[in-house]
Structure 1
Amino acid sequence: MKKNTKVILGGSTVILSILILLIAATPGASGTELPIHQVLANAEKYEGRYVTTEGFLVESSIDWRADEIELRFDIVDNDGNILSVYHHGVRPDNFSEGVITILEGYIVPGEPFQAERVKTKCPSKYEGEDPNNYDPEFHKELLDDKTSN
């Protein structure tokens, strides 16, 4: 076999291996983003597919079992659709009423949503004020006060 043929064959094998690893390592890349009402209405259609959905946490539904590292809870959308969720993993920080909860996982018809990842968005109290209300004079006064101390 010629040297060029060996190099091309070896390089192709390396590139193919890297592509296979990338595809296998990113199940979310082939996932589907769905609103809660579609998850509930079409559970059979999306069974076994990696799905992302989000809703508002219902704090009264939280069942955290630290010994088993199991978390069960409900999320609700703006239309009042409720999705029950099961997550085998740690409880996220700032897990409280009304926080937006993002779920990634699988749908099993007749069972709670099987969440592999549970993330929360920061509550609005951490968001900045409207930039249109910015007062440069007030900011200048604050800086002057700090530099004079």
Structure 2
Amino acid sequence: MNRSLKIRLWLAFGAVVLVIASLIGVGIAKSTSYYLTVTQVFADEPSPNAAVTVSGVIAPHSVHWNSSTEALQFAICDQGKNQDLVVDYHGARPQDFSKGWPVIVTGSLINHQTLKASNLEIKCPSKYEAKAPSSKA
């Protein structure tokens, strides 16, 4: 093989490695889940229409569901805190939607206190609780 062919092959190989590395980097960046707490949303004051992902618990007595329009409005807060972020969600009501359960909401801020949700995920508390030790006699 002549020298220019070897150089071109190494350049092509380097380009392929670079493309694969960048695809892996993008995949890792998208798969990591980063979300704000309700307290952080109020402290940071993101601009209106800013896309955010927020984690919190469903505030007691805040759930309003309209089955005919599939409109769900509720508030989320941080555990033990009094600041509520109102969430407007349109779509099927999640099966395990219950007061006091942790949720992750993705959407855009309409104003400083209201989030228009495009995605709603419920965390099942039982999945994160330690199993009771079994007593064997």
Aligned residue in 1 for 2:5: 3
CA-CA distance at 1:110 after TM superposition: 3.9
Aligned residue in 1 for 2:54: 53
User: Alpha-carbon deviations, 1:7-47, whole Å to 9, x = none?
Assistant: 23223333333315752784464x75322112023223797
SS of structure 1 residue aligned to 2:55: strand
Alignment of 1:1-149 (within 5 A): 2-18=4-20, 19-20=22-23, 22-23=25-26, 26-27=29-30, 29=32, 32-44=34-46, 48=50, 51-58=52-59, 60-63=62-65, 71-77=72-78, 78-87=80-89, 89-107=91-109, 109-110=111-112, 112-124=114-126, 127=129, 129-131=131-133, 134-137=134-137
CA-CA distance at 1:90 after TM superposition: 4.2
User: Alpha-carbon deviations, 1:38-65, whole Å to 9, x = none?
Assistant: 20232237974x6443211146434456
- Provide TM-score, normalisation by structure 2: 0.64
Count of residue pairs brought into register by the alignment? 132
CA-CA distance at 1:125 after TM superposition: 9.4
Identity of aligned residues (%): 27
- If asked which structure has higher relative contact order (CA below 8 Å, sep 6+), I would say 2
Greater fraction helix: 1
**1:110–1:6: structure 2 CA closer, same or farther, 3 Å change rule?**
same
Consecutive unaligned residues of structure 1, counting only runs of 5 or more, are 138-149
- Provide TM-score, normalisation by structure 1: 0.60
**1:8–1:40: structure 2 CA closer, same or farther, 3 Å change rule?**
same
CA distance in 2 between counterparts of 1:64 and 1:14 reads 52
SS of structure 1 residue aligned to 2:63: strand
**1:14–1:36: structure 2 CA closer, same or farther, 3 Å change rule?**
same
**1:72–1:24: structure 2 CA closer, same or farther, 3 Å change rule?**
farther
Consecutive unaligned residues of structure 2, counting only runs of 5 or more, are none
**1:41–1:22: structure 2 CA closer, same or farther, 3 Å change rule?**
same
CA distance in 2 between counterparts of 1:9 and 1:51 reads 40
CA distance in 1 between counterparts of 2:87 and 2:109 reads 10
The structure 1 segments of at least 4 consecutive aligned residues displaced by more than 6 Å after TM superposition are none
**1:40–1:115: structure 2 CA closer, same or farther, 3 Å change rule?**
same
